[in-house]
Structure 1
Amino acid sequence: MGSSDTLLKPLTLGTDTGELPGGHPYVKTGSGSRSLVIMPGFGDAMFAGSYPPFAGMALAPYVARYLDEYTVYVLSRPRGLPAGYDADDAVATHARALEAIGDSSDAVDVIGISMGGLIGQALARKEPDLVDRLVVANSACRLDDDARSTVRQFERDAREHDWASIRSKLATAMFTDGRAMVYPLVLQTAGRMFQPRPADPADVWRSLEFILEFDGCDELAAIDQPTLVFGGERDPFFTAPLARKTAAELPNGELELVAGAKHGAFHERKWRFDSRVRSFLER
């Protein structure tokens, strides 16, 4: 295959970046007839807030198992979140973005990761015509009580603009392999010079406040869409008991817990995650 074929491939995939209604930065790859929207965790607030033109090409290998059928979007939250940012605020802007992705007529499939899973639940409940199927990845109906002190420490770190400490602590909570040791060391040393900085530092602590305040456990019965709850049995933030409770109280809930995995199960055990999600979405 010649180099010209390689250059043409991103165009065939339909890669794109930009901003959707509601102020949402996004990156898109694929040209499938269905839309799959990935809503990231709170760490989304710790980057500059716009995707470079090549981001779609970088995304394509990561979501390759979906591209036969889907156009895949990573939908970031707006920069400059308002004080007191809550589920109503999140639904208001995300709904506008999803309407644009679905061309105002078609519901989309949603994967919400961590904080994105909380927002996905609120969207499915409040704007049911916009969400067809929902995957709640390393998330649940609320944060575990024992994790609240850790999230408050993240908030204090954010107010001091200590992004390296947040990222290093997250790495320990996410991974079970060597990355749990290597990433914190790198992030706290040489990595401090190269880490992305938030476009608006307040977005980081406002995202953490959102997580601390969110509790959708009493409203799970109002989510009618088929919903897969995927997590790690050792997740310290959205624990296995909370994941089981969430799946059990959803009218059409399913549960997949990965033994030994932590808060990064969706990424560290990606083959299993993608296999389970594809099976779920295809039904």
Structure 2
Amino acid sequence: MTSFETGDLLGRFPYVRVGSESERLVVFPGVGDAMFDGDYPPPSGWALRTYFRRFVDDYAVYVVSRPRGLPAGQRIEDMAADYADALERELGPADVLGISMGGMIAQAFAADHPDLVDELVLVNTGCRVADGARDAVRRLRRYARTHDWARIRAELAVAMFTDWRAVSYPTLALTVGRFVMPRPAVASDVGVSLDAVLSFDGRDRLDDIAARTLVVGGTDDPYFPRSILEETAAEIPDATLCAFRGAKHGAFHERKPAFDSRVEAFLGQ
């Protein structure tokens, strides 16, 4: 039977773990991490087991959230330093998979703490937000100021999907979702996270990333389109690019079998 575990690294970083292998795959989640209460109930292990089923036979997979109550003005680099403290003291070196904002953190983490990263997977992310998407992120920031979490979720769904979910998810978020979806434990964390995304520009640190790296995303991602994926992969010394044609910001959801196969092959090399 697959083992599950939930808890808090250093008493501050909520996490859920599935699998018990000695090899660790640590996932840094995106902005959505700030939009729930930060507690992983035991059943979340079953959900993680289903989502990472291709990896749990070979890895202990950890999804590690950021602390609740992020200080105003905290940068991506500060978040990376916090993660480094948690891994150094609790888990040790690991393969790291960063999604969206989590991928920005993973870039800074890998550049500043190469001893803690075995292999790096950057998912639907890049060294900066595309110029054409900055107004969209600022709009999310305005919604965060008024605590309109439903509107944020609706816009993210449109940015993520190309199938039926691009229509149904926004509708659900703006109706029943307003009453049943999780709310942030600390409302200001959402704004701090979005500000950090807008201010991050990691172009001058990409060549400091020593880990073998896979950059994977969708060509039509409005935040990190093919041009940003290519820019990011080109400057990392040992990077491979995988861009799913026509996929958007949710390529890791919408193209799940192909995504899993590509990441599994990369990590297994």
Contact 2:10/2:90, CA 8 A, preserved across alignment: no
Alignment of 1:8-27 (within 5 A): 9=1, 13-21=2-10, 23-27=12-16
User: Cα distance, 1:54 vs. partner?
Assistant: 1.8
1:253 counterpart residue number: 239
Alignment of 1:114-125 (within 5 A): 114-125=100-111
Contact 1:21/1:93, CA 8 A, preserved across alignment: no
Partner Cα distance (2:72, 2:176) in 1:
33
- Is residue 25 of structure 2 the alignment partner of residue 33 of structure 1? no
- Is residue 143 of structure 2 the alignment partner of residue 128 of structure 1? no
Shifted more, 56-65 versus 164-173: the winner is: 56-65
When normalised by structure 2's length, the TM-score is: 0.98
1:6 counterpart residue number: none
Partner Cα distance (2:190, 2:198) in 1:
13
Equivalent residue in structure 1 for 2:191, among 192, 199, 205: 205
Q: Could you tell me which amino acid in structure 2 is paired with residue 86 of structure 1? A: R
* Cα deviation code 1:200-231 (max 9, x no counterpart): 00000000000000000121111011010000
SS at match of 2:41: coil
Contact 2:76/2:105, CA 8 A, preserved across alignment: yes
1:186 counterpart residue number: 172
User: Cα distance, 1:191 vs. partner?
Assistant: 1.7
> How many residues were matched structurally?
269
- Is residue 58 of structure 2 the alignment partner of residue 69 of structure 1? yes
Q: Relative to 1, partners in 2 of residues 1:101 and 1:267: Cα closer, same or farther, differing over 3 Å?
A: farther
Partner Cα distance (2:265, 2:210) in 1:
19
- Is residue 99 of structure 2 the alignment partner of residue 110 of structure 1? no
2:138 counterpart residue number: 152
Q: Could you tell me which amino acid in structure 1 is paired with residue 119 of structure 2? A: R
Contact 1:22/1:93, CA 8 A, preserved across alignment: no
Contact 2:128/2:200, CA 8 A, preserved across alignment: yes
SS at match of 1:66: coil
2:207 counterpart residue number: 221
Partner Cα distance (2:216, 2:134) in 1:
21
When normalised by structure 1's length, the TM-score is: 0.93
Q: Could you tell me which amino acid in structure 1 is paired with residue 41 of structure 2? A: P
User: Cα distance, 1:141 vs. partner?
Assistant: 0.6
Partner Cα distance (1:239, 1:149) in 2:
15
Alignment of 1:67-106 (within 5 A): 67-102=56-91, 104=92
When Rg is computed on C-alpha atoms for both structures, the one with the higher figure is 1
* Cα deviation code 1:65-110 (max 9, x no counterpart): 00111000001111000111113321221012212443x4xx2001
2:31 counterpart residue number: 42
* Consecutive aligned runs of 4 or more in structure 1 exceeding 6 Å deviation: none
User: Cα distance, 1:22 vs. partner?
Assistant: 6.8
Contact 1:86/1:210, CA 8 A, preserved across alignment: yes
Unaligned residue ranges in structure 2 (runs of 5+): none
SS at match of 1:65: coil
Partner Cα distance (2:19, 2:178) in 1:
34
* Cα deviation code 1:96-135 (max 9, x no counterpart): 2212443x4xx20011000000000000000110011110
Contact 2:76/2:197, CA 8 A, preserved across alignment: no
Contact 1:266/1:273, CA 8 A, preserved across alignment: yes
Partner Cα distance (2:201, 2:98) in 1:
16
Unaligned residue ranges in structure 1 (runs of 5+): 1-8
1:53 counterpart residue number: 42
Percent identity between the aligned chains?
54
Partner Cα distance (2:49, 2:77) in 1:
32
SS at match of 1:197: coil
SS at match of 2:95: strand
1:4 counterpart residue number: none
- Is residue 185 of structure 2 the alignment partner of residue 196 of structure 1? no
- Cα root mean square deviation, aligned: 1.0
